[in-house]
A = this chain, B = another copy of it.
Amino acid sequence: MCCTRIEIIGLKGFPDVKKGDDIGKLIVEIARKNGVELMDGDVVIVAQKIVSKAEGRIVDLDKIVPSKTAYELGEKLGKDPRLVEVVLRECREVLKAESGHLIVLTRHGLVCANAGVDASNVDGSGIRVSLLPIDPDESARRIRKRIRELTGKNVVVVITDTFGRPFREGVVNFAIGFSGIAPFRDYIGKPDRYGYIMRVTRVCVVDEIAAAAELIMGQGGEGIPVVIMRGVKFDWDEKAGLEQVIMNRSKWLFR
């Protein structure tokens, strides 16, 4: 009898990413420096921050002129009105603006604080902030394609960011875009160990992959922005994207 294994491998020594950097190429190079050759079926998890940096999604708050709404919200929440202005531009709708929190629905359909706009781990922090990629699925596709060009290997790419949760303390890493993988493992209609047909269980594996990767990624000065997971069982899907993971608003029970 042999156990089943997954390995989570954190790549050390990632350089400071600048606008225009080729993330796919960097991943292949840094993996090799870490003694890791990418393999077919590897899941490559990439922190949103380096994708945003490479795509130039960095904003200098000094160049932002806040609207009246942004001033009012900033005052109410104790936030820099220029930051609020950037958040408002990134979001489809403000869901909650209270107790110092600005929870919004982003253009991608994500529900998160500050539309994912974040000052940490950006050079010139506090004045310069990073925005989420415009289309994280497309970012994932591009990185995946580049890895394939350079190595011939068919990997999956998942781009992640940490968000809070409504009823639990602390943040957890979530998938915000992906390429090559079906987001769910579906048990609906399958028998359990006693033959009972399960009716509801659909596991969001891309979010579980994101969460697992964060255990190595960390977030501070020792950050590891790229993690490889090897041995994950998943279904390939060339057309899947974040949209499937976003719950349609008509199904929201909590507002």
Which chain A residues have a beta carbon within 8 Å of chain B's beta carbons?
A: 1-13, 16, 33-36, 95-96, 98-99, 101, 103, 111, 119-126, 162, 165-174, 183-185, 187, 190-196, 198, 201-205, 207-209, 211-212, 214-216, 218-221, 223-224, 231-233, 244-247, 251-255
Q: How far is the CA of A203 from the CA of B168 in the complex (A)?
A: 11
Structural contact, B5 and A10, CB atoms closer than 8 A: yes
With A169-B244, A192-B125, A204-B171 known to touch, is A2 a contact of B252 (CB < 8 Å)?
Answer: no
The complex is assembled from copies of this chain, and their number is: 2
Show 5 A/B contacts (Cβ-Cβ < 8 Å), sorted by A. A3-B35, A167-B252, A171-B202, A208-B212, A211-B212
Q: Which residue of B lies closest to A127 (CB)?
A: B196
Structural contact, A255 and B253, CB atoms closer than 8 A: no
Q: What's the nearest-Cβ distance from chain B to residue A141, in Å?
A: 21
Task: Give the residues in chain B near A165, CB-CB below 8 Å.
Answer: 165, 204
Task: Give the residues in chain B near A9, CB-CB below 8 Å.
Answer: 3-5
Structural contact, A198 and B220, CB atoms closer than 8 A: yes
Q: What's the nearest-Cβ distance from chain B to residue A128, in Å?
A: 10
Task: Give the residues in chain B near A231, CB-CB below 8 Å.
Answer: 8
Specify which of B192, B203, B233 is in contact with A121 (CB 8 Å cutoff).
B192
With A170-B184, A184-B170 known to touch, is A8 a contact of B5 (CB < 8 Å)?
Answer: yes
Q: Which residue of B lies closest to A8 (CB)?
A: B6
